[in-house]
Amino acid sequence: MALESDREELKMMAASLRRHLEWYGRAGVRFLPRSRLSEMAPEGGIEEGLLGGVEGNLFSDYAAAYRANTLEELRAAVGDCRRCKLWSGRTHIVFGTGNPKAKIMFVGEGPGRDEDLQGEPFVGRAGQLLTDIITKGMALKREDVYIANVIKCRPPENRNPEADEVESCEPFLKKQVELIRPQIIVALGKFAVQTLLRSKVPITRLRGIWHDYHGIKLMPTFHPAYLLRNPGDKKLVWEDIKNVLKELKTLAA
């Protein structure tokens, strides 16, 4: 299953190039010399392939991530990420945690204060509720599933992530999904759901219904932080989780 099509790779490369050029622009550079590719090649020369010749030069932002074969390699490719402006305010990159072979993957919005401090997703109050859903509701352990977010760095004052931040970070989530290959993704909350599904439809209409994320079944449900404010809707999330468990059973049969 190749989640990132050539087209998508090219889109990311174009975005990467744009960011580099914008960076030059901000630094006051108005003209760029025509360098020969060979002068920009990494030590050891240029490899063949779509991304092979570009690693180590202008397009290097994502090349190593696309090539990662394990979550560890992917984490290494994320590095000390500065691909968007969120790097300056973060304490930790919150990459994701759990079973690299999980059948279920939970995807939230982005780290909050506790997650930023600890470097792990869903460890604050909302995280405790998610842990309860996993352990008490599904009779699983946190270590059985995989938990990640659309963006890996905390936005200032927990504001919503901005479009350029999502654009910079979502390739890593896609690659996580590709490497883990879960049977089911549970998308938590309006932001994650609408981002992953490229939809503006309200979550109240999307939740509880199966959707597709690059060939993987995706169940949208409410965010645990929303449930803390609206405990009356816990029963709807329970409906969604029961649906997930039923589907998991069907897939195993």
The footprint of ligand URA (CB under 6 A) covers 108-112, 115, 121-122, 126-127, 149, 225
Give 54 or 192: the residue with its C-beta nearer to ligand URA.
192
Q: How far is the CB of 2 from ligand URA (least distance, A)?
A: 27
In three-state secondary structure terms, 3 is: coil
Of 126 and 179, the one with the shorter C-beta distance to ligand URA is: 126
Nearer to ligand URA, 61 or 109 (CB): 109
Coil, strand or helix: which one is 249? Answer: helix
Give the whole-angstrom CA distance, residue 253 versus residue 251: 6
Q: Which residue number is nearest to ligand URA in terms of Cβ?
A: 108
Q: Decide: 153 and 94 in contact? Cβ < 8 Å.
A: yes
Closest of 64, 65, 112, 73 to residue 92, by C-alpha: 112
Q: Which is nearer to ligand URA, 126 or 219 (CB)?
A: 126
CB of 121 to ligand URA, least distance (A): 4
Burial-class residue 121 by CB neighbours within 10 Å (0-12, 13-18, 19+). buried
Q: How far is CA 124 from the centre of its chain?
A: 19
Amino acid at 207: R
Looking at the Cβ atoms of 111 and 220, the one nearer to ligand URA is 111
Cβ atoms of residues 236 and 208 within 8 Å: yes
The two tokens of residue 85 are: 């402006």
